[in-house]
Amino acid sequence: MSVAICLFTADLRVHDNPVLRAALDAADQVVPLFVVDDGVRDAGFVVPNRAAFLADCLADLDGALRSRGGRLVVRRGDVVAEVVRVAEETGAGSVHLARDVSAYAQRREARLGRALETSGRRLCVHDSVTVVPPGAITPASRGHFAVFTPYFRKWSDVPVREPLADPDTVPVPAVRSERLPSGADLADGAPSPVLPRGGEGEGRRRAAAWLDGPVTRYADRHDDLAGDATSRLSPYLHFGCLSAVELVRRATAVGGPGAMAFVRQVAWRDFNRQLLADHPEVAHEDYRPRGDRWRAEEAAVAAWRRGRTGYPLVDAAMRQLAEQGWMHNRGRLITASFLTKIMYVDWRVGARHFLDLLVDGDVANNQLNWQWVAGTGASTRPNQVIDPLVQARRFDRRGDYVRRWVPELAEIEGAAVHRPWLLPTEVRRRLDYPDPLIDLDEGRERFHRARSGGER
């Protein structure tokens, strides 16, 4: 019987999975393979929060395959060596893989293609991660769009394919597998206390609940920090537990301003991926260098990481990240601007901290969103500074978000919680909360002076 390998990477699902579907169509039997990749671990990308979520995803995927007569085959080691070994053990003639855009993913694909060709086997790469594949739409003058708005116009005109039906059966040949890993097997250290459960089943449950009402209010409420009115589907998209194609089609079917605002946010994910695909170096290099001479502020950065800057909205968002492995998107903008423009610290410092904790930590989205805020990325307003006090007035007017995440300030009522340095002295003395790390006006002026070539 003919055999094909479906190599799962960023597409840990059975519904609308072009890689799995193509492998099933190509052969009588399929090896659903996941390799615990030494290269990903060595790159420092495997951290406790994502490891815990990944372990859930793999267990859920194995269950879904077993319900269809198959199972997930797990190997550990160098991904190319392990795939070739499984191909030799099973006589597989082809390997099917999702196209991805990071420098590592591009090298993996090239290495795997050469190794398989040497042994007379084929590598088949499929678009399984995005709605519109990177490179499918480009401006006339370059290989990627550098500004989101014209990209989104083109993106919106691309017909979205029909989701693929999930398979009834997945026949798997006899082949050795290691046991499913736990989070502790994958990464050292304890995860954050309150993480979402991973897996396609949980992702589809959450997506159905989101699309059955809350999405219609997204346009009006997505910036409401205390309201927590976003989808929280980003971890499931990052690991491929949900199909971006299916999600966009279902949201579009709901229609209305809320659903279409949500679809626009999914398009940002594709925008970042098409940029990284064309310039993989921007994961660690400035996309648009500004001549920054970033400050080395170790003690201040430590305070930022701990949520002890003295600015309650910044600190609340940083503590949410530590507790949940997730942060509201508005919080991500506020905390990133504070670090890169008020403190004038290199965006790579903040991006690394986010990658250390975010369950949805994604090279394309994380690095390029940090660059966007820092003004070295695809922003059309590179020197804009996001003022946390203005943001507090607009998006946490009553202070509920701060009181939830900064318990030292829980007794302070109303908007006064955002400016604890103005409280009466006797109240201030009993609060275990720091004074502001830096004066906002001074930090803003220092940033603009540095960007204009002056002292930092």
Strands (E), 25-92: 29-37, 73-77
Residues 6+ positions from 429 with CB-CB distance below 8 Å: none
How many whole angstroms separate alpha carbon 223 and alpha carbon 327? 12
Task: Assign residue 414 a region (left: φ > 0; alpha: ψ between -120 and 50; beta: otherwise).
Answer: left
Q: What is the pLDDT of residue 41?
A: 87
Q: What values do phi and psi take at 201, rounded to 5?
A: -60, -45
Task: Give the 3-state secondary structure of residue 365.
Answer: helix
Q: How many residues does the chain have?
A: 456
Instruction: Report the pLDDT value the prediction gives residue 42, as an integer from 0 to 100.
Output: 85
**Cα(13)–Cα(11) distance, rounded to whole angstroms?**
6
Task: List phi, psi (to 5°) of 433.
Answer: -145, 135
> Are 443 and 337 contacting, i.e. CB atoms less than 8 angstroms apart?
no
Nearest Cα to 326, choosing from 228, 188, 222, 182?
A: 228
Tokens 């890169």, residue located: 340
Q: What does each of the 456 residues of the chain score in pLDDT, given as a tens digit?
A: 999 999 999 999 999 999 999 999 999 999 999 999 998 888 888 999 999 999 999 999 999 999 999 999 999 999 999 999 999 999 999 999 999 999 999 999 999 999 999 999 999 999 999 999 999 999 988 899 999 999 999 999 999 999 999 999 999 999 999 999 999 999 999 999 999 999 999 999 999 999 999 999 999 999 999 999 999 999 999 999 999 999 999 999 999 999 999 999 999 999 999 999 999 999 999 999 999 999 999 999 999 999 999 999 999 999 999 999 999 999 999 999 999 999 999 999 999 999 999 999 999 999 999 999 999 999 999 999 999 999 999 999 999 999 999 999 999 999 999 999 999 999 999 999 999 999 999 999 999 999 988 666
Distance in angstroms (rounded) separating the CA atoms of residues 130 and 269? 8
- Is-contact 83 5, C-beta < 8 A? yes
CA distances, 20 to each of 33, 65, 171, 199 (Å): 10, 11, 12, 17
CB count, 10 Å around CB of 269? Answer: 18
Q: What is the value of pTM for the model shown?
A: 0.97
pLDDT at position 456, please? 62
Residue-by-residue DSSP string for 76-140: EE-HHHHHHHHHHHHT--EEEEE---SHHHHHHHHHHHHHHHHTT-EEEEE--S-SS-TTSS--S
Q: Tell me, what's the pLDDT at 208?
A: 98
Tokens 């940090």 found at: 370
∠ at Cα 374 (372, 379), nearest 5°? 35
Q: Give the H or E element holding residue 211.
A: helix 200-211
Here the tokens at position 348 are 């790579």
Half-sphere exposure of residue 76: CA atoms within 13 angstroms, side-chain side: 7
